[in-house]
């Protein structure tokens, strides 16, 4: 069995400000996580010469991967965060105040709700299909550094969780979820590298 390591990017400056979307850099805590992650990955995958690191095309995942040495890095647009369309860059408070109908419809059906000029969770799940096919095809370990909404969808696929749960799954920051696929099914371990 070979592991798939899933992690969100280190805390971003927009995370600190409570803003969704965007393309911000890492906070100090996020930078610290990138170093701890590099340490962990280099030890955990030391003997795995064919392993690779997959990121999205957004700065916060690329910067989180940057201290990791010794493995090829691949950027996937399909790993980018859910596109919040007209709400990109807003806080949830601002959405609630300025676009109350949007806020309410998302609350009612978070899986199907599509941001105006953006995406729904169902859209994200669909665009992840080529990533999942490629992950299944890989024989070597893969480290996936992506975003909360995307990782909810990827995680649910491997952990076999129902569609309706996907938008509500906790994927904490600064934590690695290791998935092992063996003959007896899927095993999961979590490594919390910092608070």
147 is catalytic: yes
Under the binding rule (CB under 6 A), the answer on residue 95 touching ligand G3H is no
| 73 Ramachandran zone, left/alpha/beta (phi>0; psi -120 to 50) | beta
Under the binding rule (CB under 6 A), the answer on residue 38 touching ligand G3H is no
Under the binding rule (CB under 6 A), the answer on residue 175 touching ligand G3H is no
Residue 12 Cα distances to 8, 67, 95, 120, angstroms: 10, 16, 20, 22
Mutual orientation of helices 129-137 and 148-159 as an angle, nearest 10°? 50
Binding mask 110-149 for ligand G3H (x = CB under 6 A): -------------------------------------xxx
101 is catalytic: no
Q: What is the nearest approach in angstroms of ligand G3H to the Cβ of residue 21?
A: 6
Rounded to whole angstroms, the Cα distance separating 10 from 143 reads: 14
60 is catalytic: yes
The binding site for ligand G3H (CB under 6 A) comprises 20-21, 81-82, 147-149, 167
């Amino acid at each position: 069995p070979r592991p798939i390591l899933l992690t969100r990017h280190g805390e971003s400056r927009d995370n600190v400000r409570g803003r969704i979307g965007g393309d911000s850099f890492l906070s100090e805590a996020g930078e610290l996580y990138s170093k701890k992650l590099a340490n962990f990955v280099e030890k955990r995958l030391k003997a795995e010469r064919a392993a690779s690191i997959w990121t999205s095309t957004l700065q916060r995942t690329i910067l989180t991967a940057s201290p990791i040495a010794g493995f090829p890095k691949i950027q996937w647009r399909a790993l980018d965060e859910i596109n919040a369309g007209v709400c990109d860059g807003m806080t949830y408070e601002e959405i609630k105040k300025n676009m109350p109908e949007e806020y309410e419809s998302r609350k009612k059906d978070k899986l199907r709700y599509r941001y105006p000029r953006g995406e729904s969770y169902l859209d994200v799940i669909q665009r992840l299909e080529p990533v999942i096919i490629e992950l299944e095809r890989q024989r070597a370990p893969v480290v996936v550094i992506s975003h909360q909404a995307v990782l909810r969808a990827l995680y649910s696929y491997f952990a076999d969780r129902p569609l309706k749960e996907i938008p509500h799954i906790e994927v904490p920051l600064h934590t690695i979820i290791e998935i092992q696929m063996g003959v007896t099914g899927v095993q999961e371990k979590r490594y919390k590298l910092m608070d």
